[in-house]
Chains A and B, each alone.
Chain A
């Protein structure tokens, strides 16, 4: 699916950016319960901001040097340059390695929730080890 979603992401980026941005600004880590369920929303916009002193970035994988955004459906998230492992749920919500059981509405909310949990700690790469 990554090829299709990547094209969709590029095509929808400008149209979706306004809406996606509005949905998140001022809300912080939006709980998934507040997100519309069922309909899969458009691909999220790219973002690049400083949140609680950490640089958080999100966008199409490869757009900022992502090396294996294999589970984000072509989208990757970074915190201070380190990749956060993310995954998109079937309903369009997102989870990460750090908030794995608590879906967020957008990748930016996911990045902010991770920053909240990290309390300043750096991400370390965690790759599959037993297979």
Chain B
């Protein structure tokens, strides 16, 4: 059974296996197909028309399914690997072990934002950025350089306290838990972390940076924590909503999975601590 652990608790061997599995998916082309899929949805999900992966209620189940698919790809390389999560309320500086050379590598150099250490630096392991919006093919980061701070535990708690999953108009203007977690309204959790990392993480092709998966694994865990706090609050909307994935509508691109199928993560993985 897959157990997702806090990245700060991984052993040196677990880090090495995770990094090696990422590099293997990059080499065989599967990694970039995930980047492409994400960017396609980033470009097509709109507040006033069909929306599935982002700015909509299905933001959470869509990314849960996306991460499960990615985790299964990693496990096809090394069955011992599970996606770790990054609790950015705790490990909140560029000095965190997450950014050490034995794991994801550090921030980009000031001249061009290029990451120069770790397994995903441009030199050495072939981590070439192929799905991109500009001419640069090296991984870029600017940890904290945008001026924003990572969300605090108190800010996370304020969002987890929201009792309603989502609300009309079911987009970036909505009140409710989903949109406050996604970050288009309120204290801004998920979006702000993308901005804090900077570089590719700030773009529509954000999965080019492996930290994408650790960030979303924590966002996914926060959904689970919210469910625990509000056991009687259902996914919304229930049915009949134009341009939006209702509870039992199938989600693109898979076509065979609904938000209802994604509500119980324990069918796929558990956590190292009670969620």
A interface residue numbers (CB < 8 A to B): 1, 71, 85, 87-91, 97-103, 117-119, 121-124, 126, 128-131
A100 with B204: in contact, given A119-B113, A131-B252 (CB under 8 Å)?
yes
B190-231 CB contacts (< 8 Å) to partner A: 190-192, 194-195, 202-206
A128 touches B202 (CB 8 A): no
Q: Cβ of B1 < 8 Å from any Cβ of A?
A: no
Across the A-B interface, the 6 shortest Cβ-Cβ residue pairs: A90-B173, A101-B194, A101-B191, A90-B47, A121-B134, A128-B40
- Once the chains are docked, how many angstroms separate the CA of A118 from the CA of B140? 11
B24 at the interface (CB under 8 A from A): no
Interface of B is mostly: loop
- Expressed in whole angstroms, the Cα–Cα distance for A102 and B36 within the complex equals 21
- Of B134, B146, B190, B202, most buried by chain A (CB within 10 Å of CB) is B134
**A-B contacts besides A1-B48, A90-B172, 11 pairs, CB < 8 Å:** A87-B46, A88-B47, A97-B133, A98-B134, A100-B194, A100-B206, A119-B112, A119-B113, A126-B131, A126-B132, A130-B37
Instruction: Report the bound CA distance from A131 to B48 in whole Å.
Output: 20
> On chain B, which size bracket covers the interface?
35 or more
Known: A119-B112, A128-B40. A102 touches B133 (CB 8 A): no
Contact B203 A98 (CB under 8 A): yes
B69 within 8 A of A: no
Pick the contact of B133 from A91, A124, A129 — CB < 8 Å?
A124
B112 touches A126 (CB 8 A): no
The CA of A90 and the CA of B46, in the complex, are separated in Å by 9
Known: A98-B202, A102-B146, A102-B195. A121 touches B136 (CB 8 A): yes
Set of chain A residues within 8 Å of B94, measured between Cβ atoms: none
B223-261: which have CB < 8 Å to A? 252-253
Contacts A91-B172, A119-B112 given: A124-B43 contact, CB under 8 Å? no
The interface residues of chain B lying within 8 Å CB-to-CB of A71 are 43-44, 46
Q: Name B103-124 residues within 8 Å CB distance of A.
A: 112-113
Query: Closest B-chain residue to A95, C-beta based?
Result: B204
| B residues less than 8 Å from A97 (CB atoms) | 39, 42-43, 133, 203-205
A100 contacts which chain B residues (CB < 8 A)?
A: 42, 194, 202-204, 206
A89 touches B184 (CB 8 A): yes
In the complex, A119→B110 CA distance in Å? 11
Bound CA span A49–B243, Å: 37
Q: Which residues of B contact A85 (CB under 8 A)?
A: 43, 133, 204
What's the minimum C-beta distance from B192 to chain A, rounded to whole angstroms? 8
Q: How far is the CB of A49 from chain B (nearest CB, A)?
A: 20
The reply to whether B253 and A126 form a contact with Cβ atoms under 8 Å apart is no
A130 adjacent to B172 (CB under 8 Å): no
> How far does the alpha carbon of A99 sit from the alpha carbon of B206 in the complex, in Å?
10
Residues on the A chain within 8 Å of B47, using CB: 88-90
B101 interfacial by beta-carbon distance below 8 Å? no
Query: In the complex, A129 Cα to B44 Cα: how many Å?
Result: 12
In the bound complex, CA of A99 to CA of B195 (Å): 8
Shortest CB–CB separation between residue A129 and chain B, in angstroms? 5
Give the chain A neighbours of B113 by CB distance below 8 A.
Answer: 119
Complex CA distance for A119 and B183, rounded to whole angstroms: 27
Q: Which chain B residues lie closer than 8 Å to A98 at the CB level?
A: 133-134, 202-203
When chains A and B are docked, how far (Å) is the Cα of A3 from the Cα of B90? 48
Q: Which of B126-173 contact A (CB under 8 A)?
A: 131-136, 146, 169, 171-173
Within 8 Å by CB of B48, from A90, A101, A121, A129, lies A90
B134–A122 touching, CB < 8 Å: yes
Which residues on B sit within 8 Å (CB–CB) of A87? 43, 46
- List B contacts of A88 (CB < 8 A): 47
